[in-house]
Amino acid sequence: MPRTSCELAIIGGGPAGMAAASRAASLGLDTILLDEQPEPGGQIYRGIETVQRKRAGDLTILGKDYAAGAALAAAFRASGGAYEPGSVVWQVREDGRIGVSRAGASRMLTARRILIATGAMERPVPIPGWTLPGVMAAGAAQALLKASGVAPKGPAVIVGTGPLIYLIATQFRRAGVPIGAILLTAPDIGITEALKMLPGVLRAGRTLLKGLAWLRELRDMGVKMIHDVSQPVIEGADRAEAVSYVHAGSQRRIEASLVLLHNGVIPATQMSLGAGCTQIWDTAQHCWQPQTDAWGATNQDRIAVAGDSAGILGAAAAACLGRLAALDAAVRLGKLDAAQRDRMARDDRAELTRQQSLRTVLDKLFAPAAELLAPSAAGDIACRCEDVTVDELHDAIAQGSTDLNRVKAFTRCGMGPCQGRLCGPVAAEVIARALGQRADQPGQFRVRLPVRPVPLAELAELQ
């Protein structure tokens, strides 16, 4: 029979979830890890066990950082924590009840403590032509490479900003995929800002060296990288055919049948928002995130958030945050006292400080390009699920809609299957610019439960 109660329920099998489950189980907590994927790893280590077991040659393509996920997965498997792959969590309640759909049946799981570790999502890049066939999020293309070893045959053009661009380009070139060009849109930070970053660079030097190694490898493989690109447009009638852009004051064009877009990643907040966790605006990363303390605890007594779903810090930091949240759960559930928790947290605190220094540098170097945050032409699509255009959003604004939820009522933006995950950041930018507001002023879409699709038959049979 499926379990209906536990001490600690962890939602998400990425680095934060795996590390938290391993630590919690070692401390004697009755732990269940709920994971949508068929095996642990999350997005960053997607398919790590399958690759290690069946496609070991791909580890060279995907790199040492990806291979490091195998140790986290092995530690979790050996920890004794319960694992429920293929579990779709469709509700998290502040009283500790969790709605879970697995193997064609839904149930309510009651936990004394809940850790949300759902990771991040790619920030949408709504440039003209972004809905054409042949256009993908860069992370989606990377997920196919990890999960199935699938790589495109033709040349790819990558557009946007963020350290993930260099990693994906390196992995694709190792897999034999030609890269037509990398069009980089990050604004130039200038020498003054660069000098301010020097202390962070020194503290995080080892990790930054990996990024420099990717750059050197790409240059050695002849990949063309064009900086300070603006006004990118994907051209094509029925599918992507080319990317036009402005560089050094001139209009340029490059043919492309596959265009990969990336403008950084943002926390997946749907689960924490739906559970009533207070959200705050992160100015540096230009996104919403749940408000947490140093242990991941939120304003909801039973709920904590860890990893990139609490703020973008990367995989190494996510594992630290997962272990810290597990230690705090052990205190709250009577397995440790606070002094023991603090002693056991020292190593993770030290590593977390280093990773935070790195993130400060990356946030400056790869700030999201403002022109890639929102479409501007009247016919551009803002909400893909409901096919809502920019001019429809402007019509709603003209009629007095000043926040996301009023715009949603007028236009159906955010009412599709993604429930506003993709169009929420886009529509908020459009509203803010139209009204001269800060980016956070339009707010967030109210979360509709269930937060994931669940068959009515399962709900009807729910006890």
Q: Span 126-263: which CATH code?
A: 3.50.50.60
Q: Is residue 219's pLDDT more than 80?
A: yes
Rounded Cα gap, residues 215 and 235, in angstroms: 28
End-to-end Cα spacing for the chain = 14
SS (H, E, C) 64-122: HHHHCHHHHHHHHHHHCCEEEECCEEEEECCCCEEEEEECCEEEEEEEEEEEECCCEEE
Residue 239 banded pLDDT, cuts 50, 70, 90: very high
Residue 357 banded pLDDT, cuts 50, 70, 90: confident
Rounded Cα gap, residues 380 and 367, in angstroms: 23
Q: What's the pTM?
A: 0.94
Amino acid, single-letter form, for residue 408: K
Q: How much is the pLDDT for 214? A: 87
Q: 189: exposed, middle or buried (C-beta count within 10 Å: 0-12, 13-18, 19+)?
A: middle
Q: Is the dihedral of CA 410, 415, 420, 426 positive or negative?
A: negative
Q: Is residue 332's pLDDT more than 50?
A: yes
Residue 463 banded pLDDT, cuts 50, 70, 90: confident
Residue 154 banded pLDDT, cuts 50, 70, 90: confident
Q: Which residue has the tokens 């969590």?
A: 89
- Greatest CA separation for the chain: 66
Residue 206 banded pLDDT, cuts 50, 70, 90: low
Residue 40 backbone dihedrals phi, psi, to 5 degrees: -65, 160
Are 18 and 72 spatial neighbours (Cβ–Cβ below 8 Å)?
A: yes
Of residues 284 and 187, more confidence is placed in: 284
Bridge partners of residue 157, in order along the sequence: 181, 259
Rounded Cα gap, residues 208 and 240, in angstroms: 34
Rounded Cα gap, residues 448 and 442, in angstroms: 18
Among 126-140, 184-198, 382-396, which stretch is predicted with the lowest mean pLDDT?
184-198
Q: How much is the pLDDT for 189? A: 54
Q: How is residue 282 written in tokens?
A: 């992160």
Q: Is residue 330's pLDDT more than 90?
A: yes
Residue 306 banded pLDDT, cuts 50, 70, 90: very high
Rounded Cα gap, residues 342 and 119, in angstroms: 25
Residue 362 banded pLDDT, cuts 50, 70, 90: confident
Q: Is residue 157's pLDDT more than 90?
A: yes
Q: How much is the pLDDT for 212? A: 81
Of residues 214 and 129, more confidence is placed in: 129
SS (H, E, C) 342-393: HHHCHHHHHHHHHHHHHHHHHHHHCCCCHHHCCCCCCCCEEECCCCEEHHHH
Are 430 and 402 spatial neighbours (Cβ–Cβ below 8 Å)?
A: no
**Hey, which bits of 170-297 come out as E strands?**
179-184, 225-226, 230-235, 242-247, 250-255, 258-263, 265-267, 279-282, 287-290
Q: Span 5-121+266-362: which CATH code?
A: 3.50.50.60
Q: Is residue 207's pLDDT more than 70?
A: no
Q: Is residue 198's pLDDT more than 60?
A: no
Q: 53: exposed, middle or buried (C-beta count within 10 Å: 0-12, 13-18, 19+)?
A: exposed
Q: How much is the pLDDT for 202? A: 57
Per-residue pLDDT tens digits for 81-120: 999 999 999 999 999 999 999 999 999 999 999 999 999 9
- DSSP secondary structure, 128-184, as one string: TTTTSTTEEEHHHHHHHHHHH----SS-EEEEEESHHHHHHHHHHHHTT--EEEEEE
Instruction: Assign residue 188 a region (left: φ > 0; alpha: ψ between -120 and 50; beta: otherwise).
Output: beta
Q: How much is the pLDDT for 205? A: 58
Q: How much is the pLDDT for 371? A: 87
Question: Same fold for the domain at 5-121+266-362 and the one at 126-263?
Answer: yes
Q: Which residue has the tokens 């190494």?
A: 316
Q: Is residue 255's pLDDT more than 50?
A: yes
Residue 412 banded pLDDT, cuts 50, 70, 90: very high
Which architecture does CATH list for 374-435?
Orthogonal Bundle (1.10)
Q: What is the CA radius of gyration of the chain?
A: 22
Nearest alpha carbon to residue 348 among 373, 378, 382, 323: 323
Q: What is the mean pLDDT of residues 412-426?
A: 93
Q: Is residue 191's pLDDT more than 50?
A: no
Q: Is residue 271's pLDDT more than 50?
A: yes
Rounded mean pLDDT of the chain? 93
Contacts (Cβ under 8 Å, ≥6 apart) of 35: 12, 13, 17, 83, 84, 85, 86, 87
Residue 203 banded pLDDT, cuts 50, 70, 90: low
Q: Containing H/E element for 394?
A: helix 390-398
Q: State the DSSP code for 447.
A: P
Q: What is the mean pLDDT of residues 175-189?
A: 87
Residue 358 banded pLDDT, cuts 50, 70, 90: confident
Nearest alpha carbon to residue 21 among 40, 38, 48: 40
Q: How is residue 450 written in tokens?
A: 């269930």
Are 23 and 322 spatial neighbours (Cβ–Cβ below 8 Å)?
A: yes
- Going from N- to C-terminal start, the domains of the chain cover 5-121+266-362, 126-263, 374-435
Q: How much is the pLDDT for 188? A: 61
